Amino acid sequence: MLERALVTDTHPLLFWAEGGRQLGRRALLHFEACERRQAILYVPRAVLWETALLLRTGRIDLGRPIRAFFEDLFSNPAYQPLDLTAEQVFLAAERFPAGDPFDALIAAAAMSLELPLLTRDAKLQASEAVRTVW
């Protein structure tokens, strides 16, 4: 079943930018639906910052500056930037006190919208705090 709206983790967005070959079937279908403007993908601010850090350390290459990458992405209204809120910080601290702070904030973003999280992260998939799609 195709979800109407999802929140994305960092890696699915980067996999899509690389051509989508590493995406799960449902993840790929969602990105394709977004390209047709038939679905929505919320992109938490934590994803922008994590992407910037990955780019700065040379772990990824977007082929262009980060600003240009996200300006292009957000030119399609199916991709919506999601502001970081105090509620997300509180949820991240309460539900995910240990581990990766980016994962905690991104999962909290999905929880705050009551939407599934697009991720293949095994820890998040195993979590009962957030529903996941891959």
- In this model, does residue 1 exceed pLDDT 70? no
Domains of the chain, first to last: 5-133 (3.40.50.1010)
pLDDT at 97: 81
Token pair of 119 as six digits: 């991720």
Range from 17-31, 34-48, 87-101, 109-123 carrying the lowest mean pLDDT: 87-101
Query: Could you report the per-residue pLDDT of 104-119, keeping only the tens digit for each?
Result: 999 999 999 999 999 9
Calculate mean pLDDT across residues 37-44: 98
pLDDT tens-digit profile of 66-102? 999 999 999 999 999 999 999 999 999 999 887 899 9
Q: CA 10, CA 8: separation in Å to the nearest integer?
A: 6
Give the number of other CB atoms < 10 A from CB of residue 37: 11
Handedness of CA 20, 25, 27, 33 (dihedral sign): positive
Q: And the tokens for 41?
A: 């993908």
